[in-house]
A = this chain, B = another copy of it.
Amino acid sequence: MSLIFVGSFAFDTVETPAAKADRVLGGSATYFSYAASFFGPVRLVGVVGTDFPPAYRELLQSRNIDTAGLETVEGKTFFWRGAYEKDMNKRTTLEVDLNVFGEFDPTLPEHFRDSRFVFLANGSPRVQMRVLEQVARPQLVVADTMNFYIESQRDDLLKLMRRIDGMVLNDEEAFMLTGASHLVDAGRKVLAMGPKFVVIKKGEHGAMLVTPTGVIVLPAYPTDRVVDPTGAGDSFAGGMMGYLATQEVFDEPRLRRAMAYGTVVASFGVEDFSLDRFRQIGMDNIRSRYEQYRAMLAL
């Protein structure tokens, strides 16, 4: 397994109706890499400022996450502040400072270039492409994106989409990217742009997989302890890619199972702030919840 991931590290300040967390470890790279590391080793590409505590880097290294691609640059780490409403599907971004992430131009460590599995978390499609070009012979490439890049760097994004195997994005982004009015249609339109499969994340409503041969919808695992949904989409992608990186073929049954693992891993992640819940669990907890999830869906 050689899974490489490029994404962001951040300090997050999160307010929910019930609690608040101040400047906790966040960002897509944090959630993705920890979630994927339950399944096997992860190679991380990202950037932090000089204010990033060594303890955080050590935490990742203790998880079999190779941080050789994690640059430290003079300046501050990406900062995000947001608040959730009582309906936790709704959140408002109150503050974003890209800081050192704004100028990120990653160069891969030599020993990362043979990676077989590549996940390009949302970021500029030019940066995503630059990372992809440094991987010699990728076997499975999956990318995420977001509204900002769909609007402002559409041409670059379309170019990237012709080079990837799969795409992961949320429902709003799928509608924005394709102009479709319902989700199955949006999925089909994404396929027409290049990828062989697309996973559309629907937050607490689960996820939809669209391939040329079919459409699969899985619900979220109904945990009754939702403390903080921040990072759930990245944890989902981490669990999904972590599982796929243990496989040899990527057919519909494997993709579906990968989605199910992503769902289960993400359901743990939202049960506390930052990585707090992940740090309490192991693969045995994930397997046991996966079994419950499987039983719930057995008709």
- Chain A residues proximal to chain B, CB less than 8 Å: 17, 86-88, 175, 181-185, 188, 202, 204-206, 208, 214-224, 226, 256-257, 260, 290, 293-294, 296-299
Contact = CB atoms under 8 A, between A and B. Distances in A.
A23 to B, nearest CB: 25
Given A181-B86, A181-B87, A296 B224 contact: no
Contact of A222 (B215, B223, B257): B215
29 contacts: A17-B181, A87-B175, A87-B181, A182-B204, A182-B224, A183-B204, A183-B222, A184-B222, A184-B224, A185-B224, A202-B205, A205-B206, A205-B219, A206-B206, A206-B217, A206-B219, A215-B222, A217-B219, A217-B220, A217-B221, A217-B222, A218-B219, A219-B219, A257-B299, A260-B299, A290-B299, A294-B299, A297-B298, A298-B298
Nearest to A175: B87
B181 A218 contact: no
Nearest to A16: B181
A216 B299 contact: no
Given A182-B226, A183-B222, 14 more contacts: A188-B224, A202-B205, A205-B219, A206-B206, A215-B222, A216-B222, A217-B222, A218-B219, A219-B219, A256-B299, A294-B299, A297-B297, A297-B298, A297-B299
A181 B224 CA distance: 11
A110 to B, nearest CB: 39
Given A205-B206, A219-B219, A88 B182 contact: yes
A204 B215 CA distance: 14
A43 B222 CA distance: 36
Contacts of A221: 217
A179 to B, nearest CB: 10
Contact of A215 (B216, B217, B224): B224
A222 B184 CA distance: 7
Nearest to A208: B222
A221 to B, nearest CB: 8
Nearest to A261: B299
A170 to B, nearest CB: 14
A206 B256 CA distance: 18
B299 A217 contact: no
B299 A293 contact: yes
Contacts of A215: 222, 224
Contacts of A220: 217
Nearest to A203: B205
Contact of A296 (B86, B88, B217): B217
Contacts of A216: 222, 296
Contacts of A204: 182-183
